Amino acid sequence: MAVSGFEGFEKRLELHFFGDDPAVIDMGLRQLEFESLEQVLHAVQCTVVSAVGNHYFDAYVLSESSLFVYPTKIIIKTCGTTQLLKSIRPLLHYAHHLGLTLCSCRYTRGSFIFPKAQPFPHTSFKEEVIYLEETLPSNLCYRKASVMPSKVPSHSWHVFTASNTNEAHMALTHPHIPDVLYTLEICMTELDRVLARKFFRRPNDNKTGDTAGKEMTEITGINDINPGALICDFAFDPCGYSMNGIIDGDRYSTIHVTPEDGYSYASFECVGSIYDDRDDVANVLKKVVQVFRPATMSVSTTCASHEVWTRVASALEPLGLKCRSCAMDEFPAAGSVVFQAFTARRK
């Protein structure tokens, strides 16, 4: 293990808003000027490198991971030594000017490989929770923080959620989010060395990040994970890769890769519906494992009303990944979070 290197494990923030003006809700946060988004990202210490959008949302590839902007929801996921939680205050300021009020917050992350390199407020989960408690408005009074353990020491799952009391109003503004959609957040370490080399660029290749990114998407098989997705990809120099995929309507997938040996890491995240074909989750997981072949892998499944997580182990076990632990907890506005940790049988 390297003494120090690039921190692959991301911090993820998801904020939901509501408003009384239907005209505002129709476009909502998507009305924000690009300069305003840049100000938010400046506070976090990252920038936009590529973007794509459709009728439902805008997806940005960042210098450190991803940003998704919906009319009443925003998701920011950043790696490295970014200060993600510092995005909350400017986001609340801009949302207020659009007539939007925060109604729920979810913050999640894995265990940092290099925790001592993290700046305030990410020096510890305790500090992060204190910062969230002090920054979020008082109307989000249902709050919970938890560290979900695993039997794999390098993988644990940190979750903080906060919600307002107006659950009925939230159900009206987000009729399909609480009980139909689920989110998979996958963290992979100790990637197969041969496969990880595909995420290195040749020296002086004279290619743009976009062009090199498209090549990586093809040669690694990432384009087969969600066939038909509108993909926005970017390859960093000398190594590293990020991708956002618009799958279907308002659903996305995102991949981020830190391929350096000694602290190699890749993440995959996607949104699905409980009404999807039961084989969809298994097929996606199989393709993700084939792209990276990690020695260690954790999967966090967030869903309000359905045991999607039961499909995860049955999909991964035939691929040589053994489930070492499974933890479950309930969170306000998020529903149930199930955290499963796997290791390759070769370990």
Report the binding-site residues for substrate: 6, 64, 236, 260
Number of neighbouring beta carbons within 10 Å of residue 218: 12
Q: Annotated catalytic, 326?
A: no
Q: How far is CA 174 from the centre of its chain?
A: 20
Name residues whose C-beta falls within 8 Å of residue 318's C-beta, 6 or more positions apart in sequence: none
Q: Which of 311, 319, 322 is nearest to 280 (CA)?
A: 311
The 3-class secondary structure across 245-289, one letter per residue, is EECCCCCEEEEEEECCCCCCEEEEEEEEECCCCHHHHHHHHHHHH
E-only strand ranges, 25-109:
48-53, 58-62, 65-69, 73-78, 101-109
Active-site choice (16, 50, 66, 79): 79
Q: What dihedral do alpha carbons 319, 80, 334, 285 form, nearest 10°?
A: -20
Kindly name the residue from 66, 104, 146, 242 that is annotated as catalytic: 242
- Give how far Cα 176 sits from Cα of 16, 89, 119, 134, 169, Å: 13, 27, 36, 30, 13
Active site residue 146: no
CA gap 241, 284 in Å, rounded: 19
Tokens standing for residue 127: 């500090």
C-alpha 72/C-alpha 82 separation (Å) is 24
Catalytic residue among 65, 104, 163, 267: 65
Written as one string, the DSSP assignment of 34-58 is: HHHHHHHHHHHT--EEEEEE-SS-E
Q: Give catalytic status of residue 158 as yes or no.
A: no
**65 is known as an active-site residue:** yes
For residue 148, the cross-strand partners are 157
The catalytic position among 122, 155, 158, 256 is 256
Catalytic residue annotation: 65, 79, 242, 256
